[in-house]
Amino acid sequence: MAVSLSTETCDVIVIGCGGFGSSAMFHLAQRGLNVIGIDRFHPPHDRGSSHGETRIIRKAYFEHPSYVPLLHRAWELWEELSESVGERLIEQRDLLIAGPPGSDVIEGARLSARLYELPMENLTAAEAAIRYPEFHLPEDYAVAIESTAGYLWAERCVASHLDCATSLGAQLRPGETVFSVASSGSGIRVHTDRGCYSAGAAIVTSGAWTGQLLSDYARHISVLRKTLCWFPVTSENWIRKDRAPLFFVDAPESQFYGLPSVDGKTIKVGMHTGGEVVHDPSTMSRQVTDEDERPISQFAGKYLGGMKPQASRSVICMYSMTPDGHFLLDRLPELPVVVAAGFSGHGFKFTSVLGEVAADLVQRGQAGLDIGFLSASRLGADH
């Protein structure tokens, strides 16, 4: 005998309650909408793309100047969230950007700084070595120091958005997996491993799994397996705010980023470029191998001092990449669904503001800030 599943209804369903989804839930709930958020795990968790303690936030955006207005609002919203929950979720820290003169990273950061009048100091590698003795950069490198930068406590940001959302009445359904999203009259119907929901609209923000849910988008989002390593520090400099900045180094081997010590014991380093393609995020190995750690240890051993380049801890995380490295945030043409995905390894800092933008898209059909450069049509993905 067929068992009929009951259908729950709400205004908006958020599918995936990680970095982005937790923020979208909060902004929707703040507007008085009846929201249900569904996640296959128990966020914040370490199975997706938003774990590993910290994330860098910076404003002189080398990827494209169009991100800067979003970053101004993102920073403001992180401050507001910190105030609401009564703990610091964002910390200011200078950022050292280093690369060959004329490289996209150096020139891109300088362009955003110039266009938006952001403070930026230009140094030679020799000058940088005096101020920051733990950096051993190639002699001919250009260095830019950005003070409108810092880091976020990633899992605490997700937890805070969820706490604020649920305290405003949003419902979180952890441990439930969405199988499909389809149109139903003027709204949508969502099927999960537990039941069925109907809603006026949905936001699909399932990170590395987005291509599995929205098959039309699968070819526009590729998932990469990434490693984060923590290295023990041996120099006090890594603990001092004036001696150790955040960093992004466009090295000949690859692009690397890292944070000075936030625990007084280790620094965290990751490799931005490269990474093995993931075919199924659910079955990807999360076991860190020597091979995973090797390029990061080699970078640390060659370009950083005052630490031991043998990782004391490491984790696996995932990047969801679009072909051009810019995010995908748009409304689907055929359904009352907003898709927010393809955050391409640099999306966490924006989750506060893009959750607000997604709430605008759901509620008013348009965003208050310019997100045209993140549209599906630029990827040829709007139909």
- Give the interface with ligand FAD as residue ranges (CB under 6 A): 15-21, 38-41, 43, 47-50, 52, 55-56, 177-178, 205-207, 209, 213, 226, 228, 270, 317-319, 343, 345-349
Which is closer to ligand FAD, CB of 133 or CB of 191? 191
Residue 57 Cβ, how far from ligand FAD at the closest point, in Å? 6
Kindly state the DSSP code that residue 291 receives in the 8-state scheme: H
Output the residue with the shortest Cβ distance to ligand FAD. 18
Which is closer to ligand FAD, CB of 326 or CB of 346? 346
Residue 122 Cβ, how far from ligand FAD at the closest point, in Å? 23
Q: Residue 135's beta-bridge partner residues?
A: 304
Cα(54)–Cα(259) distance, integer angstroms: 8
The single residue of 27, 40, 47, 51 carrying the catalytic annotation is 51
Q: Give 124's contacts (C-beta < 8 A, 6+ positions apart).
A: 141, 142, 143
Query: Is-catalytic flag, 51?
Result: yes
Which is closer to ligand FAD, CB of 56 or CB of 278? 56
Start-to-end CA span in the chain (Å): 39
Which is closer to ligand FAD, CB of 331 or CB of 349? 349
The single residue of 40, 54, 93, 351 carrying the catalytic annotation is 54
Which is closer to ligand FAD, CB of 178 or CB of 367? 178
Residue 43 Cβ, how far from ligand FAD at the closest point, in Å? 5
Query: Is-catalytic flag, 268?
Result: yes
Cβ-contact 16, 39 below 8 angstroms: yes
Cis peptide before 44 (omega within 30 of 0): yes
Residue 205 Cβ, how far from ligand FAD at the closest point, in Å? 5
Query: Is-catalytic flag, 317?
Result: yes
Structure tokens at 269: 């380093």
Residue 140 Cβ, how far from ligand FAD at the closest point, in Å? 27
Cα(337)–Cα(331) distance, integer angstroms: 6
Q: Residue 253, Cβ neighbours under 10 Å: how many?
A: 14
Cα(140)–Cα(267) distance, integer angstroms: 25
The single residue of 93, 226, 349, 351 carrying the catalytic annotation is 349
Which is closer to ligand FAD, CB of 124 or CB of 198? 198
Q: Residue 32, Cβ neighbours under 10 Å: how many?
A: 11
The single residue of 110, 225, 226, 268 carrying the catalytic annotation is 268
Q: Where are the beta strands (DSSP E) in 233-302?
A: 246-250, 255-259, 266-271, 276-278
Residue 91 Cβ, how far from ligand FAD at the closest point, in Å? 13
**Reduced to 3 states, what is the DSSP secondary structure of residue 93?**
coil
Nearest to 122 by CA among 99, 104, 145: 145
Find the helix packing angle between 19-30 and 154-167, rounded to 10°. 30
Cα(228)–Cα(270) distance, integer angstroms: 5
Query: Is-catalytic flag, 349?
Result: yes
Residue 231 Cβ, how far from ligand FAD at the closest point, in Å? 15
The single residue of 243, 272, 308, 378 carrying the catalytic annotation is 272
Cα(115)–Cα(373) distance, integer angstroms: 17
Q: Is 70 left (phi over 0), alpha (psi -120 to 50) or beta?
A: alpha
Active site residues: 51, 54-55, 268, 272, 317, 349
